[in-house]
Amino acid sequence: MSAIANRYEFVLLFDVTNGNPNGDPDAGNLPRLDPETNQGLVTDVCLKRKIRNYVALEKDVDAGYAIYMQEKSVLNNQHKKAYDALDIKPEPKKLPKEVEKARALTEWMCRNFFDVRTFGAVMTTEVNSGQVRGPVQMAFASSIDPVVPLEVSITRMAVTNERDLEKERTMGRKHIIPYGLYRAHGYISAKLAERTGFSDDDLELLWRALINMFEHDRSAARGEMSTRKLIVFKHDHPMGNAPAHVLFDSVKVKRVEGEEDTPARHYSDYYVSVEAEDLPAGVSVDEKL
């Protein structure tokens, strides 16, 4: 399967209702915030995790779609699979001296692990499989408006130990935001895709993952999260026909007129538009959702 031939950028809009889209472990799992603006934040790592989880569900154990960075995986063992498949003996922390063998190991990792050929990976551990710079990169998502984190008290009727049977019910806390619409930007390089083998089939799988990743990520903290909009810019030339920021600026997200003074509580409180007629030559736009 040949690599993609075009450069892409995309704008992803998703929202959360009465949930915590991305807790901060350094702040007691509070929703991540920009301290200067109080806009909510969701890290790129968080979004990539959800993409990986979706691909693992859709593709299961299909050849070429294994997930490298998965829960409880031992990375050295992942790298050793390449050495075993190519019948190469690993040396601690070193790639083989033969350039062809070193390149073959990295190519095997790209060919067999979806997230390696998509996002890249630094695989220079004790069992060294090289480094890969991935064609798909994402920035932090930030909420359109400031969000207000709430701390909600909860109780648990059961106890953990018998010695606690006579005690009062266990009290706990969970953190939510009532509503937040988040915007994230993504970048896909055709030239870097040539190096990893990221194909058109991989690209279509990525779009499906971005649209459906929250549908399979329900939890008590993220019961109502949804992808609301996926706007894709496609360049005619593999190197691109316009700067990414120019394309992102053409996507406007505003509050519905007359509702600016009340807190947003639903996606319908916003208006999303794309100034498609003003796009630079050689760039087309496709609203996937």
Q: Residue ranges of the alpha helices (H) in 10-159?
A: 44-59, 75-86, 99-112, 114-119
Q: Dump pLDDT digits (tens) for 234-263.
A: 999 999 999 999 999 999 999 998 777 889
* pLDDT value, residue 28: 85
Q: Dump pLDDT digits (tens) for 45-63.
A: 999 999 999 999 999 777 8
Q: Phi first, then psi: what are they for 105, rounded to 5°?
A: -65, -45
Neighbours of 150 (CB within 10 A): 13
| Centroid of chain to Cα 103 | 28
- Let me know: does 174 contact 152? Beta carbons within 8 Å: yes
What residue type is assigned to position 251 of the chain?
V
Structural domain spans, the chain:
8-152+174-287
What three-state secondary structure class fits 49? helix
> In the structure encoding, which two tokens stand for residue 178, read together?
């009532």
- DSSP-assigned letters across all residues of 204-240: HHHHHHHHHGGGG---SSSSSEEEEEEEEEEESSTT-
CA distance 226 to 181: 10
- Let me know: does 68 contact 115? Beta carbons within 8 Å: yes
* pLDDT value, residue 1: 65
**Element at 97 (helix H, strand E):** none
Residues with Cβ within 8 Å of 154's Cβ and at least 6 positions away in sequence, in order, are: 171, 172, 173, 174
Residues in the chain, pLDDT under 70: 1, 165, 168-171
**Element at 142 (helix H, strand E):** strand 141-146
| Centroid of chain to Cα 111 | 20
State how beta strands 30-31 and 23-24 pair: antiparallel
**Element at 20 (helix H, strand E):** none
Instruction: Calculate ∠ Cα 209-61-217, nearest 5°.
Output: 35
* pLDDT value, residue 143: 97
What are the beta bridge partners of residue 141? 42
* pLDDT value, residue 170: 66
